Structure 1
């Protein structure tokens, strides 16, 4: 299992980015969350098998058609306790 924090910059708030992210996470069987940050970025916590995480990160670089992704930062996290769902916060 792999757990990462994904910080997505660009036009990613107010364009249903978190909802599309939740749908894509379910598609890849990823657990975690997505939330808007005060600085305009979206923070995603994602936990799954490494192959699924890589596919999900690749999608995050494009995002939904309504968004414009300028930058994606990946931070590896410790896999401490297993997450049970993917939530929008």
Structure 2
């Protein structure tokens, strides 16, 4: 299996609504590694690594997020040659 990694920046009402934890739960269910962390500017940064199918599924989910989130924009950056972490963390 070829592993791909993407970095996403999620904008909107995404802090204080369990966005990071929900992203972690979704990622673990479909076998992705990476992280989700709050940024000082109010966005959430998400690193997703795994199969391209699973990464695509979760990047689509980022547009919705958990109940209470109001996502207005998601920017995706494909990372070439990025070493995939062995777990999914929240910061």
Offset at 1:79? 3.1
Distance 1:79 1:56 in 2: 20
Q: Which runs of 5+ in 1 are unaligned?
A: none
Q: Is the 8 A contact 2:17 2:67 kept in 1?
A: no
State how 1:44-55 maps to structure 2 within 5 Å.
44-55=46-57
CA shift, 1:42, in A, is 0.1
Per-residue deviation, 1:82: 2.9
TM-score, normalised to structure 2, is 0.94
Q: Report the counterpart of residue 88 of structure 1 in structure 2.
A: 90
Kindly provide the CA deviation profile for residues 14-68 of structure 1, in whole angstroms up to 9, marking residues without a partner as x: 1110000000000111000000001100000010100000000110011011200
Aligned to 1:66: 68
Aligned residue pair count: 89
TM-score, normalising length: structure 1: 0.96
Q: What does residue 7 of structure 2 align with?
A: 5
Provide the residue aligned with 2:38 in structure 1. Answer: 36
CA distance in 1, matches of 2:51, 2:58: 11
Partner secondary structure for residue 24 of structure 2: helix
